[in-house]
A and B are shown apart, each in its own frame.
Chain A
Amino acid sequence: MSAPSDLRYTRDHEWIKVDGDEATVGITQYAAEQLGDIVFVELPDSGRDLEVAKPFGVVESVKAVSDLYAPISGAVTSTNDALAKEPELVNSDPYGAGWMIKLTIADPTQIDDLLDGSAYDDLVAAG
């Protein structure tokens, strides 16, 4: 399956969707499949300032612990509270109900540095 073309991607398998001056962040379907059944998601509090490429949270599957990396710098405006009770949403709907955080966009040029859908597909295909 190919990555949605309206999103941008990091090499660490996060996606980001820009909506005006706010962006939504999650992990890709490929990442969710590689992790397996996700059982825990740890997200930052609203208001926290994130720095591009720095860890902002943790996603855990039954087997593994994996850091989440900020695709861009910005302040967290909200987090997906549903994941506390239903972390499996990340597996079942990674680009929708499995979203993780919304944040402000501190520097729009950072988005241009991210991969588009086809470049991300190439990254995954290359293993």
Chain B
Amino acid sequence: MTDPGVAESVIHETPLASRHEALGARMIEFAGWRMPVQYTSILDEHRAVRERAGLFDLTHMGEMLVEGPTAGEALSNAVVSNPLALEPGRAQYSMICAPDGGVLDDLIIYRLGQDRFMVVANAANAQVVSDALAERLARTRAVLDDHSLATGLVAIQGPRSVDVLSPLTDVDLAGLRYYAIAEGRVAGIPASVARTGYTGEDGFEVFVEIERTGEIWDALLDGVQGAGGLPVGLGARDTLRLEAGMPLYGNELDRTTNPFEAGLGRVVKLGKRGDFVGRAALERVAAEGPKRQLVGMIVEGRGIARHGYPVAVGERRTGVVTSGTQSPTLGVPIAMAYVATTDAEPGTMVDVEIRDGRVPARVVPLPFYRRSK
């Protein structure tokens, strides 16, 4: 299974590549990086995260620092959320939009200090976000520093995460709230620990200087395996986020989607001070209401709804599936889809066109899975 195309384009190598290979991972090219898609079995890795703990290499994600006087105001003009509302040490889910309101990427913005922010972007969009921020911050006193290739990121996710990480860090995990970040040490190495993730479980994301990612990975992997957990690849990361009803850029979000359609209107702070890129277009959407809406569906017939499959009500085409899989936790086929707003009410019956047939599916509220506290 060699890929002759690899030699011809620049593929970033995670510093953990040899470790993944030693663990038996199947590596794939993803967003310009060679990353592990699965080590043993997507289902086993998925269950490990739901029941115990999983360790993820997320070094491919983009990390950008925005610093300097008025950094918060400058960033507020570049994204749809309000970074100025963050206390230092807290984080918010955000999006960066085009002037027409289309989503360039979804982001997590961490306020590291009064005038110091970290923007975390999807790997596939890291360059787009970096370029857009550079342009939007150009006439401000804020300085953009793209640290994507200098920053390693590993995530530990699952109910045992606190037990595993606590003995390895001086960060007070009990005091670290959801969507908060603190600097400290992990396995003796300077790192930032954030209580964020993309799985629907409790867990942490650990940012570290890229050269030292391996040491932190080794220490966390020992702990995770000791707790009955596993290293987890991108395959299970996708099924975990889908059960948790979290959007994936390229599936639920892209330049032709706006945040309101995606059910993320709450992220857009139309009440914040000042203009921001996309404001006029998003105010229009907010006033008129979105014409289509992202919904959850459970397939009730036989078959799995996949990305791109048409969705119909009777003879009328109402939308398209954005993501779908067999839910490892629920044991039924789940999917997210855009449908006409009039068909988005939970309980609505629709048909998914799967190959030559039509398979009934029920619109359900998102998320599909919510952890018990």
List chain A positions with a Cβ less than 8 A from chain B.
34, 36-37, 39-40, 42, 58, 60-63, 65, 84, 127
Contacts and interface: CB of A to CB of B under 8 A. Distances in A.
Interface stretch (B123-131, B267-275, B299-307): B299-307
Interface in B1-44: 1-2, 37-38, 41-43
A37 B355 contact: no
Given A37-B41, A40-B304, A62 B326 contact: yes
B328 interface: yes
Nearest to A36: B42
B235 interface: yes
B325 interface: yes
Given A36-B38, A40-B326, A62 B303 contact: no
A52 to B, nearest CB: 20
B239 interface: yes
A39 B327 CA distance: 9
Given A39-B326, A42-B355, A62-B328, 18 more contacts: A34-B1, A36-B42, A37-B42, A37-B43, A40-B302, A40-B333, A42-B302, A58-B355, A60-B304, A60-B326, A61-B42, A62-B42, A62-B235, A62-B326, A63-B42, A63-B235, A63-B325, A127-B1
A62 B325 contact: yes
Interface residues of B, number: 19
Nearest to B2: A127
Contact of B239 (A40, A62, A65, A84): A62
Interface string B177-188: 000000000000
A62 to B, nearest CB: 4
Contacts of B303: 40, 42
B235 A39 contact: no
A62 B41 CA distance: 10
B235 A36 contact: yes
B1 A39 contact: no
A36 B41 contact: yes
12 contacts: A36-B38, A36-B41, A36-B42, A37-B42, A40-B303, A61-B42, A62-B326, A62-B328, A63-B325, A65-B304, A84-B302, A127-B1
Contacts of B2: 127
B350 to A, nearest CB: 19
A53 B38 CA distance: 31
Nearest to B328: A62
A34 B303 CA distance: 21
B87 to A, nearest CB: 39
Interface string B328-346: 1000010000000000000
